[in-house]
């Protein structure tokens, strides 16, 4: 039986450059590159209880820019979007629901991810 999600992997043509982008713009802390022939092919960052990975697109069998579906939880969506905008990163307009506010962002290779702020009472 399935017991957990080991990781989700976004396809990349340049893992090192895309990793640096996620480190710079989302503050992710990657654990260390898996390299072949001196080229970073895979790297992963623990995010909460999950793991977000960037993987050579050949390995993940998806073209660069085809990743989508990861939602990163943030404490303050509007502050996060302001910081990204100041760095030249574009996002869609936030969508408000009864339980959250979220938006989509594209990384430099075209992969889509969500930024999500829960509005449920704690």
pLDDT category at 114 given cuts 50, 70, 90 is very high
- For the chain, list the domains and their CATH numbers: 8-118 (3.10.180.10)
Indicate the SS3 state at residue 36.
Answer: strand
Rounded CA separation 106/5 (Å) = 23
Confidence at residue 99, expressed as pLDDT on a 0 to 100 scale: 95
Residue, of 122 and 5, whose pLDDT is higher: 5
Residue, of 49 and 116, whose pLDDT is higher: 116
pLDDT in tens, 32-90: 999 999 999 999 999 998 999 999 999 999 999 999 999 999 999 999 999 999 999 99
Tell me what the mean pLDDT of segment 103-115 comes to. 97
Rounded CA separation 84/104 (Å) = 12
pLDDT in tens, 13-45: 999 999 999 999 999 999 999 999 999 999 999
Q: How many residues does the chain have?
A: 122
């Amino acid at each position: 039986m399935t017991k957990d999600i080991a990781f989700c992997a976004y396809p990349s043509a340049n893992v090192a450059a895309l990793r640096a982008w996620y480190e710079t713009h989302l503050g992710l802390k990657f654990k260390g590159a898996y390299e072949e022939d001196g080229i970073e092919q895979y790297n992963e960052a623990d995010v909460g209880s999950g793991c977000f990975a960037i993987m050579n697109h050949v390995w993940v069998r998806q073209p660069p820019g085809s990743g989508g579906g990861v939602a990163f939880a943030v404490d303050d969506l509007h502050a996060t979007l302001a910081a990204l905008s100041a760095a030249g990163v574009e996002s869609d307009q936030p969508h408000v629901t009864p339980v959250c506010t979220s938006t989509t962002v594209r990384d430099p290779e075209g992969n889509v991810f969500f930024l999500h702020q829960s509005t449920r009472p704690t």
